[in-house]
Copies of this chain bind each other. A is one copy, B any other.
Amino acid sequence: MTTSQAILTVDAVLLTLVEAELHVALIRREAEPFAGHWGLPGGYIHEQEDDSAKAAIARVLQAKAGVESPYLEEYGTFSGPVRDPRGWSLTVVYFALAPVVSGQVQMFPVHALPNLPFDHTQIIAKVLERVRSKASYSSLPVHLCPPEFTIPELHAVYEVVMGEKLNIANFRRKLEDLQVLEEIPGCLRSGGRSRPSQVYRVSKKYRNALSVRERGL
């Protein structure tokens, strides 16, 4: 049997908001190559314990970033003979969104990343493109919010993720299409000078999933 000798890994672009700016989690690499450098959290599959590549990256994120069940989606693979000095390699890249992150990772603003090894800079750029695009027609950014939030707060999160101003009236209407939120009865929050806003949470069905707006040809 001739099997491939390619190196197989999983990596995650874990995003969170810090002071209203999108941040990505990086970790100091312990092993060669590039030991001591900042890089994406990731690693090898553990054949004895991981039921899938997704389970492998979930294990890494729990151990290194203290996130139990973030929103986690496969972005795609990056592969080839030159991306890793050890030889032909393939990594399955996931993106994860969480309201808070802890553990050994450190958060960096997406606009001020250090030099990164392998193709990690390109991976982050590609994932951010996907996340921005997906935010424009789905409930993806709710996974950056704490469990309870107002519409103005969620609106601000969408603006940060998409990097542009969004008309609040349109936003409310399109959010209703998504049907992901439920009111927390009787819970209002003061928003400074404006009148108090209703507080919402993500309905159970969408806690680890997305709602996508209907399109149709």
Contacts and interface: CB of A to CB of B under 8 A. Distances in A.
B217 A8 contact: no
A104 interface: no
A9 B162 CA distance: 36
Nearest to A136: B217
A126 B178 CA distance: 23
Interface in A95-118: none
Interface stretch (A20-28, A86-94, A184-192): A86-94
Given A137-B217, A174-B217, A217-B135, A81 B7 contact: no
A216 B171 CA distance: 10
A44 interface: yes
Given A50-B88, A53-B77, A213-B217, 14 more contacts: A1-B86, A4-B44, A4-B47, A6-B45, A45-B79, A45-B88, A51-B80, A77-B92, A136-B215, A136-B217, A137-B216, A170-B217, A171-B217, A215-B215
